[in-house]
Each structure stands twice: as structure tokens, then as C-alpha cells.
Amino acid sequence: MAIRQPSSRSCFVCGRDNPVGLHVRWDNHPDVGEIHATVSIPAHFNGYPGVAHGGIVAALLDEAAGRSILLDGDFDQLMVTAKLEVRYHQPAPTETPLLLVGRLDRGGNQHAEARAELRLPDGSVAARATVLLARPPAEISGRWQAERPYWKVDE
């Protein structure tokens, strides 16, 4: 059974109120140890006509891997990306529903390892990422507390 993850207000990928964001909504699938989201990348994020810009694809993969740490729903587990490696397998089309999948490979108190895939409608992989996540210093994570009351699940 899928469980919707909360979203922030301003994040480029998931922010509910970000007028130029992607508005991606994430679902936990604890039965398979993954998070999923469906995204249709708008054409104004083209790199070439009909093809998503690689930087947008990287941002989506980064978010999917980073959110995999929230599979248990604990906001306090949020980490930041320390290293992102992306492998592009085939073009990701714009204006087409695509599946994002994130999976936590190894959790930890200070570091974690995760991976993500962007899948095409036929199930083939457009891009994959491996991500090293790190616990941010308190001066960074402390700034997140102001957003906490607005971190919610869309109804």
C-alpha cells in the first residue's frame, strides 16, 4: 500500500507553491522498499525539442534518491547530497508520464547511500543515479525548522 510523503512549499522538485517547480508528489512503498513518483516534465524544460534537459533529469534523480531516506516517514532523517553520479541511458521525453523510483541502499547516522531511476512508459530506464547522502551541519538543518509547519501531504 502506497503512503504519500509530505512536500514543502518552495522546493524546485516537490514544492507545492513553487510557480516554476515540477510539483512532484512522492509515495512510499514500504512493501518493496522504494519510493515512487510519476512526473511529466513540461516542454519548457527541454534540452532539445521533446527531450528533457539533462540537468532536470539529474535534479529529479537527486530528489528521488534523497527522499528514499524518508521511507519510514521521519522528517528528522533528511540529509543532503554529497555526491551524485548520473548515467544517461536514453533520452527522457517531455510531456510524457515517467516513473521515478528511489531506493535506500544503506542508511546511517551521518551518511547514507541511495539510488534512483527514471523509467520510460515502456519500463525501460532513461537514467540512473547513485547518491551519497550526508547529515548536514546544524546551521543548515536548523533553517529547515521554519518550514516544518508547512511540510504536509496534499489532500
98-151 pLDDT, tens per residue?
999 999 999 888 999 999 999 999 999 999 999 999 999 888 888 888 888 888
pLDDT of residue 155: 59
The three three-digit cell numbers of residue 6, written as one number: 509530505
Please give the C-alpha separations between residue 60 and each of 142, 143, 149, 155, in angstroms, as whole numbers: 24, 23, 24, 22
Contact 120, 92 (CB under 8 A): yes
pLDDT of residue 81: 96
Tell me, yes or no, whether 67 lies in a domain. yes
Number of neighbours of residue 122 by Cβ within 10 angstroms: 5
Tell me, yes or no, whether 25 lies in a domain. yes
Tell me, yes or no, whether 151 lies in a domain. no
Residue-wise pLDDT for 47-79, tens only, equals: 999 999 999 999 999 999 999 998 877 777 889
Q: Domain containing 61 — which CATH number?
A: 3.10.129.10
Tell me, yes or no, whether 153 lies in a domain. no
pLDDT of residue 148: 80
Question: Could you tell me the residue range of the domain that residue 59 belongs to?
Answer: 3-145
* Number of domains into which the chain is organized: 1
